[in-house]
Structure 1
Amino acid sequence: MKLVVMIPAYNEEDSIASVIKEIPRDCCDEVEVLVVSDGSTDNTAEEAKKAGADRIVISKKNRGLAPTFKIGLQTALEMGADIIVNTDGDGQYNGNEIPKLIQPVLDNKADLVLGSRTKGEIEYMPLHKKIGNRMATFITRHVSGLPVSDGQSGFRAFSRDCALRLNVMADYTYVQETLIQASYYDMAYTEVPIEFRKREGSSRLISNIFNYARRAGTTIARGYRDFHPLKTFSAIAGIFLLAGFVTGGRVLVNYFNTGAVGPYLPSAILTVLLFVIAILVFIVALVADMLKTHRKIQDEMLYRLKKIELEE
């Protein structure tokens, strides 16, 4: 059983060495550390090498967390990982808790294990981030259907099969998208409580909470649209249909009373327009649902191709 601990890092030269050295090397038959330097302009890669990283992937430019996570996941699979743990390079997650994190995967009870800060111990988290985390977690929980208590946690363990099925498409953060996909692919999910330490310095990802909320919200919305297109577009069609009934109500009342549309002609035209839009959006819902079926087939083919390629 081989464990690969992957660490996406951007300008973490001050903390990356301590993060690597804290990773226990005896929690699996074989443990390797993978560092993905996302266009770092400091000595992150050099410090990682000195600290004993087994493999270092260096991106020439800063691509962002989600693309870096995707690169790390693929590289870890190529390294022969049976279990993959993702942790941050800033030292906020305790590497000594990795054995606890991977145990449900080792016991064949879970494909995805999330390290929950809210169920564990948080040394420090700014109030605005606590509020943002709770709001994002609430939305992620309802969109994914999983009992998620800390949707923004990056301390996670993936089985090989789960990692093969994940296809990260976002360009900002992966945390919500991977939960939505895991639910869609019916992956076994569980959580373990973890320790969350105070960060030294500012966050590389969440420098602006409003920008994070906007981009993370977009990722969640796209994920729900892609995996639940019939519900998404039917709801939009329902809104237009309801608006049509509202605007058309007084037109009908006046018609039954006077036998003519009279002064409500603009409302009548608007009502017809709203009904037509509702019908068109519902047609889009049906087409999108058919495309979802094709995507499911394509995802299964991609999963099998990945397995064949990596086995070879």
Structure 2
Amino acid sequence: MKLVVTIPAYNEENTIGKVIKEIPREIEGIEKVEVLVINDGSTDNTVKVAKEAGADRIVGFKENKGLAPAFRLGLETALEMGADIIVNTDADFQYDQKQIPDLIRPILDGEADIVLGSRFKGWIEHMPIQKRIGNKIATWVTRMASGYPVSDAQTGFRAFTRETALRLNIMSDYTYVQETILQAVNNGMVIKEIPVNFRKREGKSRLISNIFSYAKRGAPIILRTYRDYNPLKVFSLIGGTITLLGLLMGLRVLVHYFKTGIVTPYLPSAVLTVVLLVVGLQVIILGLIADMIKTQKKLQEEILYRLKKIEFDMRRETKNSFNRDINP
């Protein structure tokens, strides 16, 4: 059983060394622990410090691309390295890496596919008020969209089984945290939360500059993911609302017509009624079409999962064969 700890990092030279050194290299039930750093276009000495601290592998981008692409690259590389379990953590030294054995225990015990380290169930040394509010709001929205009673949807300290990592398809270019939960729930994966400790951050957050910019960029990710997995519900709600408005608008036109036999005084309302009814029905039809596309999407995801599984399993077998040849 191999564990790969992935650390997306952008200009974290002051803390990434401490994160790497704190990661336990001997864990019960795990034969090998490796540390993978994803350098997201850092312009400081992040890479140098990571190497000196003992990172087993460093990959990344020449320029800053954002947390979601870095996380996606981390998953792909960890699978390529033959990971059976993947733990993702932050490079800012806020999470206690000594809790990694607790984080992966539900996976080792066969109780979960994904384990989230919940700061709000654990101990928080310090969290700025705007970040706390933003986390609470985003978590509530994620809870409503997914139906899973998550307490900390924003946590970057989480563990995945190999099978789960193969099934996740991160489409966002900003953040992955809510999208992975929504995908996991809709794919029937088992999620579990454990309490974790959260230290005060050294320096300013690279991801959340302020609550308004985060909400502006994070909310569409949740809405888009929810729409993709529940298209009929979303479009039926929108189309039904528009149709209901049209019916209410047309009600007074009908009442006047039955009383007087003419529509002329309410002609604009009559036209608007027709427009609303037509648009509402078209949106509902669009939902039916989107629901059919959803079926195709599921088939495509299954095909993609099987292709990734074949690819990464072949890479792991090739690597194992090579190791056996040089170390008979």
Which letter does structure 1 place at the counterpart of 2:2? K
- Distance (Å, rounded) in 2 between the aligned partners of 1:284 and 1:147: 31
Q: Give the distance between the partners of 2:196 and 2:258, measured in 1 at CA.
A: 66
CA distance in 1, matches of 2:60, 2:274: 57
Q: For residues 243 and 130 of structure 2, what CA distance do their matches in structure 1 show? A: 38
Q: Show the 5 A alignment for 1:263-274.
A: 263-274=265-276
Match runs of 1:58-73 below 5 Å: 58-73=60-75
Is the aligned partner of 1:298 residue 2:311? no
Alignment of 1:242-257 (within 5 A): 242-257=244-259
SS at match of 1:158: strand
Task: Tell me how many residue pairs correspond in the alignment.
Answer: 312
Give the distance between the partners of 1:180 and 1:170, measured in 2 at CA. 13
Contact preservation (8 Å) 1:38, 1:68: yes
Q: Which letter does structure 2 place at the counterpart of 1:236?
A: I
CA contact (8 A) 1:45 1:58 kept: no
**Once the two structures are superposed, what CA deviation does each residue of 1:212-270 show, in whole Å capped at 9, x if it has no partner?**
00111010000001111111111110121121022112111111211111211000000
Tell me how far apart the structure 1 counterparts of residues 200 and 240 of structure 2 sit (CA, whole Å). 46
Show the counterpart of 1:112. Answer: 114
Identical pairs, percent: 63
What is the distance in 2 between the residues matched to 1:311 and 1:141? Answer: 34
Partner of 2:196, secondary structure, is strand
| One-letter amino acid of the structure 1 residue matched with residue 84 of structure 2 | D
What are the superposed Cα offsets for residues 147-182 of structure 1, whole Å, 9 maximum, x if unpaired? 200011110000000000000000100000000000
The residue number in structure 2 matching 1:9 is 9
- The answer for the alignment partner of 1:219 in structure 2 is 221
- Aligned partner of 2:83 in structure 1 is 81
Residues 1:92 and 2:94 aligned together: yes
For residues 225-236 of structure 1, what are the structure 2 equivalents within 5 Å? 225-236=227-238
Q: CA deviation at 1:200?
A: 1.0
Distance (Å, rounded) in 2 between the aligned partners of 1:78 and 1:282: 43
Alpha-carbon distance between aligned partners in 2 of 1:177 and 1:58, rounded to the nearest angstrom: 22
| Partner-residue secondary structure (3-state), 1:191 | strand
Report the more deviating stretch, 130-139 or 174-183.
130-139
Instruction: Report the secondary structure of 1:49's partner residue.
Output: helix
Secondary structure in 2 aligned to 1:224? helix
Runs of 4+ in 1 over 6 A off after TM superposition: none
Structure 1 residue identity aligned to 2:63? K
The answer for the alignment partner of 1:39 in structure 2 is: 41
- Displacement of 1:284: 0.7
Q: State how far apart, in whole Å, the 2-side matches of 1:221 and 1:21 are.
A: 38
From 146, 149, 152, the counterpart of 2:148 = 146
Stretches of structure 1 lacking an aligned partner (at least 5 in a row): none
Counterpart of 1:56 in structure 2 is 58
TM-score (norm 1): 0.99
Question: Which 5+ residue runs of structure 2 have no aligned equivalent?
Answer: 315-328
Amino acid at match of 1:110: A
Instruction: Give the AA of the match of 1:281.
Output: V
Aligned counterparts of 1:233 and 1:251: Cα–Cα separation in 2: 27
- Give yes or no for contact 1:2–1:30 (8 Å, CA) kept in 2: yes
**Residue of structure 1 equivalent to 2:25:** 25
The one-letter code matched in structure 1 to 2:212 is F
| Matched residue, 1:283 | 285
Give the match's secondary structure for 1:143: helix
CA distance in 2, matches of 1:63, 1:292: 29
Distance in 2, matches of 1:310 and 1:65, equals: 23
**Secondary structure of 1:134's match?**
helix
What secondary structure is seen at the aligned counterpart in 1 of 2:12?
Answer: coil
The aligned residue for residue 195 of structure 1 is 197
The yes-or-no answer on 1:175 pairing with 2:150 is: no
Moved more, 247-256 or 164-173: 247-256
> Does the 8 Å contact 2:5/2:34 carry over to 1?
yes
Alpha-carbon distance between aligned partners in 1 of 2:195 and 2:60, rounded to the nearest angstrom: 32
How much has 1:58 moved relative to structure 2?
Answer: 2.6
- Aligned to 2:63, the other structure's residue is in SS state coil
The letter of the residue matching 2:124 is I
